[in-house]
Chain A
Amino acid sequence: MRIAAIVAALLVLLALPKYAQPYYVTLVLPAFAYAIALLGFNLLFGYTGLLSFGHALFVAVGAYAAAVLTSKLGVKSFELIVLISGLVAVVAAIPVALLSVRYVRIFFGILTLAFGMLFHSFLFKFYDITGGDTGIRVLRPSLLGQGFADLDKTAFLVGPFYYYCLALLVVLGIVMWRIVHSPFGLHLTAIRENPRKAEYLGVRVRFFRLIAFLISAFYCAVGGVILAINTGQADPELAYWTHSGELVFMTVLGGFANFFGPLIGAFTFIFLKSELMGATQYWRFWLGAILVLIVVLFPRGLVGIGQSLWAKLRRS
C-alpha cells in the first residue's frame, strides 16, 4: 500500500514537466526544497521531540552559501555547492546546537528563535558583506558538469534542474529513512519519549540531540540551496522567524508523527499558498485559519486524516 503510493507519487512527479503548465512545475521546485529541509527538521521535531523555531537560519545559510559560491567564488558545480553549503551549515550549527541542546521544550524553541534572528539581523544590517535587504544573486549552476547554456532560465529550472532535485529528494529521503530506522533513530525516539529513562539506560542524550541537530541543519541548507537557485536570489527574509514558523506549519500540516507527513505538508503548503495568493490579497488570514483548524481539530495532520479515513473504509 505504502510502496504503491510512493511509486505513484514519483510517477506523477516524473511526468509533471511533460504535461503540466510551467507555472505549476516551478511551484514544485520550492516544494522539493522544503520537502528536503523538512526531512531534516522533522528528525529534530518529530523524532527527537525538540521544536525549533529558528531552523530558517540553516535554510538561509544554505541559500547564502550558494549565492557566495556562485556569484563571488565562481563555483558552478551544483554537486559541490550542495556539499559545501551543507557542510557550512553543519559548522554553523555546531555552536548553536551545543548551546541549544541544553534546553528542551519552549526554552529550546525560544533559544533557536534567538539564533535565527541574530543571523537575520546580521544579514540585514551588514550591507557590505551580505548585500543587506536585497541579498546576493545566485547564478545558475552546472549539473554533473553540464552548463545547459542553450536553455533559458525557465527551461533550465523545469527541465534538468527539476529532475536533478527530484533525484536529490529521493536520495536524501532514502538516507533519512535509513537514519530514523537505524539504532541511532531509535535512540532519538527513546529520548523524545522519556529523556530521563533513556539516560538511565546509557543513552548520551545531549550528544544524540546534537547529532540530530547537525543532520537537520545539513538538510535545511540543501533545501535552502534549491530555493535560492529557483528564485535566483538569497535574501534575509529566509532567516526571519516567520519563515521558521512556516517550516513548523508545513510539518504539522502534513503530520509530524509520520515519516512522509512533512513531505505531504510541504507540497500541500506550497500549492495552497500559491492558490490563496492568487485568489485573495488576504491569503495570510486563510492560511492562519487553516492552521487553526489543523491544530485544534486534526493535530495528526493530513496523514492523520488519511489514516482515519482509511481505517473507516476498511471497517465498512
Chain B
Amino acid sequence: MTAFFDILIGGVFHAAVLFLVAAGLQLVFGVQKIVNLACGSFYALGAYFGISTVTWATAAGVPPALFLPVLLLSGLLLGVIGPVIEALLRTVYDRDEAFQLLLTFALVLMFQDVLRFFWGANPKTLGNIVMEYGKLSIGAVQVPTYNVLVILASIAIAAGIGLLLQRTRFGRILRATAENREMSQALGVNTRWMNTSVFTIGTVLGTVGGALVVPTAAASLDMPVELVVEAFAVVVIGGLGSMRGALVGALIVGLLRAAAISWYAEVEMLAIYLVVIAVLIVRPAGLHGKPIE
C-alpha cells in the first residue's frame, strides 16, 4: 500500500511538471502550428535561473521559507525571452514544417551552450531546501509538503489556462485563431500580436515548470534534450494541440514512469514509448486530438 502511494504521489508530481511544459507545447502548436523542440530548453533555463534567483534572494535576506514564490516569479520573469524567440520563428511561419522543426532544433543547440556559459557543465542543485516546508503525512506515507504545493500550483495553473481559454475574450480570439487563422485575420484579429502572446505564455509555462522542479532535482545540461522526449510522449498520447490531452497524457506518462522506476527501472522510457506507439496505432490522433486529414 505504501509503495502504491509512493508511486501515486511521485507520479502525480512528475505529471504536474510535465503538464506545464506540455501545455506550453500544445498552445504553441495550436496557434502557430509549430512543434517546439526548444520547450525542453526553456524548462532547463527556468531550472538554472531558479537556482540563481533563490540563491541570490536568500543572500539578500529573503526568508528561505519564501522560496516557492521566488521560484514562480523567476519563471514568470523569463517570459521576456518569449517575444525575442517568436520574432525569430516568425520568419518561417509560411515555410515547410521541416524548416520550423529545424529552427527550433537550432535553438536547442544554442541554448545548450548558453546554459553551459552561464552555469557551467556541472549539475547544480538547491541543496535540501525542500525541507524548509517540512513533510506531510498522508495515511501511512510521508510526502514533502513542497511536492504537494507544486501539484496544487500546477492544478491552479491548469484551471487558470482553462478559464483563460474558455471564458475570456482573449481565449475566444485565441481559439478562433487556432481554428482558422485567415478567417480570424479577415475579422480583424491581430494575429501577429496573438502569436507573440501565445508563444510567450508557452515559454513561461516551460520556465515555470523548470523553476518548480529544481528544488527536488538537479539542473543539468542533459535536462533539455531529455525532457523533450517525455513532453513529446505526453502530447502524442494526449493528441497534438489539445489541452485536455496534455493533462491526460501527463498523468499517464508521470504515473507510468513512477511505476516503472519502482518496479523495473530498465523499462522506464521503453514503457512510455510503447504506450506512445500503442496509442498511435489505436488512435492515430491521440486520445483527445482532432482526427488527422
Contact = CB atoms under 8 A, between A and B. Distances in A.
Nearest to B225: A242
B101 interface: yes
B228 interface: yes
B96 to A, nearest CB: 8
B277 A118 contact: yes
A111 interface: yes
Given A241-B225, A291-B106, A295-B92, A121 B273 contact: yes
B65 interface: no
Chain B interface size, as a band, is 35 or more
B225 to A, nearest CB: 6
Contacts of A126: 266
A147 interface: no
B232 to A, nearest CB: 6
B4 interface: no
A122 B271 CA distance: 10
Given A45-B98, A241-B228, A295-B92, A114 B106 contact: no
A110 B105 CA distance: 13
Given A252-B98, A296-B91, A117 B105 contact: no
A115 B280 CA distance: 12
Interface string A185-197: 0000000000000
A246 to B, nearest CB: 9
Nearest to A100: B280
A110 B107 contact: no
Interface centre among A51, A99, A107, A111 (most CB of B within 10 A): A107
B232 A110 contact: yes
A280 to B, nearest CB: 9
Given A115-B277, A295-B106, A282 B99 contact: no
Interface string A125-147: 11000000000000000000000
Given A99-B281, A126-B266, A296-B91, A288 B107 contact: yes
A8 interface: no
Given A103-B284, A106-B240, A117-B229, A53 B101 contact: yes
B114 interface: yes
B292 A103 contact: yes
Given A105-B97, A113-B232, A282-B116, A118 B273 contact: yes
B118 to A, nearest CB: 11
Interface in B131-179: none
A240 B108 CA distance: 14
Contact of A51 (B92, B101, B236, B265): B101
A171 interface: no
Contacts of B106: 288-289, 291-292, 295
Interface centre among B106, B117, B265, B276 (most CB of A within 10 A): B106
B284 to A, nearest CB: 7
Contacts of B88: 292, 296
Interface string A95-111: 00001001101110111
Given A117-B273, A118-B277, A125-B268, A252 B102 contact: yes
Interface in B81-102: 88, 91-92, 95, 97-99, 101-102
A296 B236 contact: no
B103 interface: yes
B269 interface: yes
B200 interface: no
Interface of B: 35, 37, 88, 91-92, 95, 97-99, 101-103, 105-110, 112-114, 116-117, 225, 228-229, 232-233, 236, 240, 265-270, 273-274, 276-277, 280-281, 284, 292
Given A110-B236, A285-B109, A289-B110, 13 more contacts: A99-B281, A103-B284, A114-B233, A115-B273, A115-B277, A120-B269, A241-B228, A242-B225, A288-B110, A291-B105, A292-B106, A292-B107, A295-B99
Interface of A: 45, 51, 53, 99, 102-103, 105-107, 109-111, 113-115, 117-118, 120-122, 125-126, 240-242, 245, 248-249, 252, 281-285, 287-289, 291-292, 295-296, 299
